Structure 1
Amino acid sequence: MDPQQLRTFVTVVRLGSFSEAARDLGYTQSAVSQQIAALEADLGTGLLLRRPVGPTEAGARLLEHAGPLLVRLDAARADVARLAGAPSARLAVGATPLAVGAALGRALGDVRRAHPRVDLVVRVVAQQALPALIATGEVDLALIDGLAAPSDPLPLPDVGPLSTVAVDEQPVAVALPAGHPLAGHRGLALADLSAARWLEAPDLAPTADRLRAATGVDGFRPAVRYLGTDVRGLLALVAAGHGPAVLPAAVAAGAPGVVAVPVREPRLVHRTELVHGSLPEGPAALLAGLLGG
């Protein structure tokens, strides 16, 4: 299976058009059609409906494989390039929104003192996107946070050979409006709130799927979807009664109109991990040592 043909197939499906895919990829429309025809011939089945453009049943199944396959190919290229190349003066650091904190700031200060000419970029990205960015070399290393059982690793997608090191674990709490009937409790079982309508904030807090997996209980249906990385905005919605959210206790505590009630059951923590691929000597290796040492 030719990787370029696979990329072309994914682009046609994403854009829903052969002509738009040609413009996006810098090909002629006939070249795109030829690549799709060659891929279909290779696999012995039709992959795309032409009018309107969309995947066949076989094409939809191929699409499920295509993303991980292309990421692994890009990851392999980036990994070899890191090992074979000279140390880079660029340092691209990824972080999930709640993983940006004082420890990262101090470590970056040490790196800049050791490498005053370093070209430093910090990218704040949602958890689900960061592992692929690390594997493909778009960021050198990242701090990723999420919900986990104590001492358990974060559930990250398999996008290549990545190293993970725990750098922090903090207690978690349910953020509730101050007038909520459970706001005065010393602790809560998450399952007791499964029937509540929740704030779904996939860039900041565990999703309903994650809460169901952690508790083994159905429910946790979202009332409002909050798509953003500003935790103050999320807490303002909690205070206004639009739904609870599970957050690090230190983040939820002290927000106006919000009470942070500790999660007692199941046993969960807010875990932060340092995640990276191979790191030749240079600013990225120094930062990894400072954060993970």
Structure 2
Amino acid sequence: MDPHLLRTFVVVADHRSFSAAARQLGYTQSAVSQHIAALESDLGVPLLHRRPVAPTEAGERLLEHAGPILLRLDAARLDVRQTATPPAGRLGVGATPLAATGRLAGALAAVRRAWPGLDVTVRVDGRQAVAAGFGTGEYALALVDGVVAPSDPLRLLDTGTPGGVPVAEQPLAVLLPERHPLARRAGFSLDDLLDAGWIDADDVAAPLPELRAAARSDGPRASIRYDGTDLAALVALVAAGHGLVVLPASAVPTGADVTLVPLTAPRLVHRTELLRPRNGGSVVDALADAIVGQTG
């Protein structure tokens, strides 16, 4: 399967248009049509309906594979290039909302004192976006967080890079409005809260699919979705009574009209991990070592 043809297919499927895909890719519309025809011939099945443009059932199945395949190819290209030319001068760092803490700020301060001319860009984004950005070289380092059983690795996109280095682990709690009827409980099993309303905020709070996987029943169901990375906005939604979320206790600012009750079962933890390259160079290695060495 030619990766160039696969990339063209993904762009056409995303735009639902051959002409729009051609403009984005810098090809003629005829070339895009030829790419799709060649890919369909290779696989022996139609991948796109033409009028209107939309993936067929086989095309939907291919899209499920395409993202990880293309990401692995980009990650492999980056990994090979870095063996000869470690990045220098500019430094991109990605972090998920709950991983972008004083730990990163303190480490950056130490490294910038040693390299005062260093051009640093820090971007906060969702978990999978940060992992993908690290895999493709957008970020030299990435801090990611997630909710897992104590002995399990974080579930992130497969970028072909080494596993993350654990840098922090904390217990979890359920965030409720301060006047919630259950706010004075000493602790919760997740199964105690199956009928509660939940906020689906998988780029900030514990993702509901992971909580459902860990629960003994069908697990919590969302009553509202928060598609963002601003922790303060999420806390405000909880305070206003729109639903509950699971967070590490240290993440919630003081003074908010919310309360945290420890999550006692299932046994889960909030973990922060550092993604670092095999051959980052002196600046990247120094920042990585400073992040791992921080205590806060």
TM-score range, shorter chain: over 0.9
SS of residue in 2 equivalent to 1:273: strand
Equivalent pair of 2:190/2:219 in contact (CA under 8 Å): no
Measured in 2, the distance between the counterparts of 1:279 and 1:112 equals 20
1:9-48 aligned at under 5 Å gives the runs 9-48=9-48
Structure 1: gaps of 5 or more residues = none
Deviation readout 1:225-274 (Å, 9 max, x if unpaired) = 11212211111111111111101112236342211111111222211111
Measured in 2, the distance between the counterparts of 1:86 and 1:268 equals 37
CA shift, 1:292, in A, is 2.4
1:187-206 aligned at under 5 Å gives the runs 187-206=187-206
Look up the match of 1:249: 249
Equivalent pair of 2:208/2:221 in contact (CA under 8 Å): yes
SS of residue in 2 equivalent to 1:97: coil
CA shift, 1:95, in A, is 0.4
In 2 relative to 1, CA 120–204 (structure 1 residues): closer, same or farther, beyond 3 Å?
Answer: same
CA shift, 1:87, in A, is 4.2
SS of residue in 2 equivalent to 1:129: helix
Residue correspondences, number? 293
Deviation readout 1:91-134 (Å, 9 max, x if unpaired) = 11110011111111111011111111111010101012121111
Equivalent pair of 2:144/2:274 in contact (CA under 8 Å): yes
1:54-93 aligned at under 5 Å gives the runs 54-93=54-93
Look up the match of 1:148: 148
Deviation readout 1:119-177 (Å, 9 max, x if unpaired) = 10101010121211111101111111111222432122222123311100112111111
1:1-293 aligned at under 5 Å gives the runs 1-252=1-252, 254-293=254-293
Measured in 2, the distance between the counterparts of 1:275 and 1:86 equals 16
Structure 2: gaps of 5 or more residues = none
SS of residue in 2 equivalent to 1:42: helix
- The normalised TM-score by structure 1 is 0.95
Measured in 2, the distance between the counterparts of 1:57 and 1:261 equals 45
Measured in 1, the distance between the counterparts of 2:237 and 2:182 equals 17
Percentage of pairs with the same residue: 57
Letter in 2 for 1:181: P
Equivalent pair of 2:213/2:219 in contact (CA under 8 Å): no
